Structure 1
Amino acid sequence: MEKVSESKRLKRNAAGFYPLLGQAIAMISPLGAVAATMTGAAGYALGSLPLAYVISIIGVLIWINTPYQFSKKINGAGGFYTFNSQGAGPRYGLIIGYMMWFSYFMVITNAILFTSGVFIPGTISYFLGINIGNYTWIPIMTAFLIIITIIAYLGIKPSLAYSFTASAIEIILLIITSIVIIVALGPKNTYVPFTTGPAHGFAGVGVGMVLAIFSMSGSSAVVTLGEEAKQPRKNIKKALLISFLITGVVFVLTSYALTVGWGINRMNKFAASSVPGLIVADKFLGLPFTILLFVFIINSLFAGSLAPLNTSSRMIFSMSRDGLGPSLFSRVHPKHKTPYIAIIIIAAVAYFISLIAGILIGPYDGFVYLVSASSAALFIGHILSNFGLTKTYMRLKAFKPTLHLIIPLIATIILLIAMYYSFNPPAYPVDYSIITAIVFIILTLIAVLIYAKKHPDKIKNAGKSDMLVQDELMEGKL
């Protein structure tokens, strides 16, 4: 049997269940999601925000069915690229691989820009009344990115250890904050936020649900750690499911606490505030705890930037190792066993894209532009993967209509609705982000088809290296 050279393998057995769980939760970035995505969802769902999150739990459970089912049979550093290449076909998988890579890459750009250019200046302005300047975010973002790059460079173990610790603290802080607020309100607690009344119908709840689903969707990025995981077929799908269950329950609890804490009938002003979560925390728990919360929100956004750097670097590494990406990206550090060239270059490019977006259209609009481009690619990539799952299980002769056809179809419908409400009507700068994502996807499609026509033998290598490593893992040789 063919083997993958030791010099082109990532660190074996580096991640057990708990580190994988930390990576899955870190990609969701619970405190960061509360600061950013939950605030956005409140702008539509208003006082019915908790209802939007309850419904979104069903949506996310359907959403993660596809990576969960794939992970039962196929694992590797390429994640969705390997899934679809080995299941639905090489061309199909390569196109999806670059689309999903683009989405995770853009998560890095929007996360570092939001943290340095929106959240930190907004918090300082509200609580201290100080404007830190128009360009102070640049050195903050520079330091921020250098640190996460170093951690990613040094190996997957320190990255995952950090992610797990940070994720555990985030969850605990959100639970404490929510319980204190709910207990303090006593008889003022009510079931009303779990109805459509405060949102004046289901339309607002529906849009809020879309954003809520997006805020919990990041756990699927853990599939790119298939080569470095212990018992990947068992632990990756387990981390996917449990991370979703934990964050889903916590998000419902937190959304309710913040809604009743802010005021059900005042939620129209919630989203307009720069840092509503911290304002509510300050009201009920005092300034010292709010400062602690602020620190860990920054930490959450930090972990939420590190996770996609690990994910995107492994995806491009996997494609390049198969000869379907720049060969430079297939290099593995001899000591740390990380795709270090990919990590450094991706981090550098992400930095300059964030810098250009922040300078040209401002940090907030830049963040919206980058996160919307990421969303568009993510939605389309997942839709195509839903169809890929059906074809894969038919090929494997293990097809089950409910798991491999009906649920993926429902997930596709949810994603199409999400795309409609997220990007219609198009408004600045979202319209430009859609154009960016579509242009990238079209260019990828053209490039893959041309390459496949000119090099039909090479395109067949898509996902091959991951599968060779997986086969050896299954045989107990690694």
Structure 2
Amino acid sequence: MVSLSKKLEPKEDSIPKYLVVAQSLSSIAPLGSVSAYLTFAMTYSLASTGLSAILGSLVYLVWVIIGYRYSKVIASTGGTYEFAKQGGGELVGSIAGWLYWISYATYLSSVTTYLVSSVIPTFVGVSQTELSAIEVILPVLLFLLVISGVKPPLFYSLVTSSVEVLLIIALGVKVFALRGFSYSAFTLTVPTSNFFAGAMAVAFTLAGGGASFFLGYEAKGKGKTVSTSYLLAFSIAAVAVIFASFYEVAFVGYANAGVISLLNETQFPGYYISEQVFGAPFSAVFLAFTVNSLIGSAVAAYVALARLTYTLVSRDMFRSVVIVFLFFFAWNLVGGITGQLLPLYYLTTEISLVTLFVSHLIVSVVYPLFSRRIKGISVVDVALATLGSATMAYGVYSNLFPLQLDSGIALGTTLAVSAIIALRKWAKVWGSSYSQGKKPDLKPNKG
């Protein structure tokens, strides 16, 4: 136990840049996004999905720049917790950090349950009992991979994410060779509201690259490495998703009717197109790496979450990995026992998205305060904070309303976590002050 804890302990300047890029890129899950998640954008934007993808990438780029600027200065195992803390003080940092923790912890269950409930049954004939067994086994397998040390999971992410991008490129080149390219792809074919809804779907498809923020202490080159790796991974993923959005529309003839027909045929357009243009062998590889993409995304989240737990709860990495496992395993065990995999997926996804957006919203709001401490506030800082906050606020709103059971639970979780942290902070201040016979000081911590 002692030797394992020592093995897992974060080591300063130990992770090369290419593995930091892999952590960031795999957390976005490029092939998973193209094969499945891009479906949401296509539902809204239809034949204008390519345009929506460009706009969505630019929208999310605003938050990427904020994350880039934070991570360039703050290199730690605490990631977004440290970002918010430096801008708004300990209380604000704790709220943002714990909301991020809840987001990543429920994401682990969300992505693995999506794999078990939606992906595997679509392509493989398995019984409900077998699906329940897989649901429970996956957290154990990821736990074993993460306790092998930080580099094996990152090498796994490097290989899978690199192959994912190559598969996306190969499929796109083949589709364009067969169908050709038309400038009609740049024509708006849906109402403006649908177009923007599709753009926001693409923007949030590209979320996740911030998993590299938590490698700041271990990365060779510290903040400079993390910030540039984050920007590079986002750029690669954005180009891949934009490219895919254009060739998926090209495959159906650049028409709304064609996109509608495609979505009626499958909820996995990337895989479906690969099967149609390349045949079974290529599509089998495409499917295998789509599954790997989802698993790689979970691995990246686990690696990041273990470090956030290390910062917030326990300065022992093995104990932190175990804490994450227990939370992760508990969710999946409920799904495995009850067999209610789809409801579990919807619930964990809702909680993960709402807490993620609120955490990012907090980090965006306090960005000018962070900037003031570092170099002074500029108009650009205020503009970034405003646009970033607006983007994340929209993410919160779009997931909460219309308010339903899942979104209500997500809202309740967010408010409960924030209230508990605030009450603990204030109780600590009051208790400390009264024990010293002083009047409690409830002014915000300046960090």
Confirm or deny that 1:345 pairs with 2:337: no
Match 2:185 to one of 193, 196, 212: 193
How far did residue 382 of structure 1 move? 0.9
CA contact (8 A) 1:210 1:421 kept: no
Q: 1:242 aligns with which of 225, 232, 257?
A: 232
Deviation at 1:157, TM superposition (A): 1.2
Structure 1, residues 405-428: CA drift from partner, whole Å, max 9, x if none? Answer: 111111111222233333332346
Which of 287, 290, 298 lines up with 2:283 in the alignment?
290
Given the alignment of the two structures, is residue 417 of structure 1 paired with residue 407 of structure 2, yes or no? no
- 1:42–1:270 CA contact under 8 A, matched in 2: no
User: Does residue 266 of the first structure (1) align with residue 266 of the second (2)?
Assistant: no
1:454 pairs with one of 410, 431, 435 = 431
- For the Cα contact (< 8 Å) 2:214–2:304, is it kept in 1? yes
Which string of whole-angstrom CA distances, capped at 9 and with x for unpartnered residues, describes residues 134-177 of structure 1? 23222223333222211211111112111111111111111111
1:15 matched to 2:7? The reply is no
Tell me the percent identity: 21
State the alpha-carbon separation in 2 of the partners of residues 164 and 452 from structure 1: 45
How many Å separate the matches in 2 of 1:261 and 1:417? 32
Look up the equivalent residue of 2:199 and give its one-letter code. M
Distance 2:282 2:8 in 1: 46
Question: 1:250 Cα deviation (Å)?
Answer: 0.8
Return the offset for 1:379: 0.9
Q: Distance in 1 between matches of 2:419 and 2:196?
A: 30
- Does the Cα contact within 8 Å between 2:95 and 2:417 map onto a contact in 1? no
Equivalent residue pairs, number: 431
Matched, 1:400 2:390: no
Residues 87, 424 of structure 1: alpha-carbon distance in 2 compared, 3 angstrom cutoff: closer
TM-score (norm 2): 0.89
Tell me which amino acid in the other structure corresponds to 2:121: P
Shift of 1:383: 1.1
Are residues 1:150 and 2:135 paired?
no
Query: Which residues of structure 1 form unaligned runs of 5+?
Result: 1-5, 125-129, 321-328, 332-338, 465-478
**Residue identity matched to 1:244:** F
Aligned partner of residue 136 in structure 1, secondary structure: helix
Counterpart code for 2:373: R
2-side partners of 1:141 and 1:205: how far apart? 36
Q: Unaligned 5+ residue runs, structure 2?
A: 1-5, 437-441
Higher alpha-carbon deviation: 363-372 or 77-86: 363-372
Does the 8 A contact of 1:8 with 1:330 survive in 2? no
Most deviating of 340-349 and 151-160: 340-349
CA RMSD of aligned residues (A): 2.6
Find the partner of 1:177 among 171, 174, 196. Answer: 171
Q: In the alignment, which of 291, 300, 325 is matched to residue 293 of structure 2?
A: 300
Q: Which residue of 1 aligns with 2:3?
A: none
Matches within 5 A, 1:421-436: 421-427=398-404, 429-436=406-413
Quick one: structure 1 residues 294 and 399, their matched pair in 2 at CA, closer, same or farther if it must change by over 3 Å?
same
Aligned equivalents of 2:343, 2:45: Cα separation in 1:
22
Structure 2 residue 251 is the aligned partner of structure 1 residue 257: no
TM-score (norm 1): 0.84
Change (3 A) 1:367 1:83: same
Q: Does 1:379 align with 2:379?
A: no
Shift of 1:436: 3.6
2:46 counterpart of 1:52 = no
